[in-house]
Amino acid sequence: MNKYGPKAQETVHKTMEQFKEGKLKSGSGQKVTDRDQAVAIGLSEARKKGYKAPKE
């Protein structure tokens, strides 16, 4: 069984694109510089939208 649904993967992919372009900001408004943090932000957004993603 998959851990992530296709919509969750799409959300993380879009977040990673923003990270690579240098446009991704954290909750405090600072630029995200860590890849793991970017993935965590993408998964968090997917959870908020109700997509299939593992719990924190």
The number of distinct structural domains making up the chain is 1
pLDDT in tens, the chain (56 residues): 678 899 999 999 999 999 999 999 999 999 999 999 999 999 999 999 999 988 87
Task: Report the distance separating Cα 6 and Cα 25, nearest Å.
Answer: 24
Which residue carries 């694109």 as its tokens? Answer: 17
Amino acid code (one letter) for 1: M
For 23, phi and psi rounded to 5 degrees? -105, -5
- Specify whether the backbone of 4 is left (phi greater than 0), alpha (psi in -120 to 50) or beta: beta
The pTM score is 0.85
Is residue 56 in a domain?
no
Locate 53 and state its tokens.
């993603």
Is residue 19 in a domain?
yes
Is residue 35 in a domain?
yes
Is residue 1 in a domain?
no
Is residue 14 in a domain?
yes
Is residue 30 in a domain?
yes
**Which domain, by its residues, includes 36?**
6-49
Locate 47 and state its tokens.
């959870």
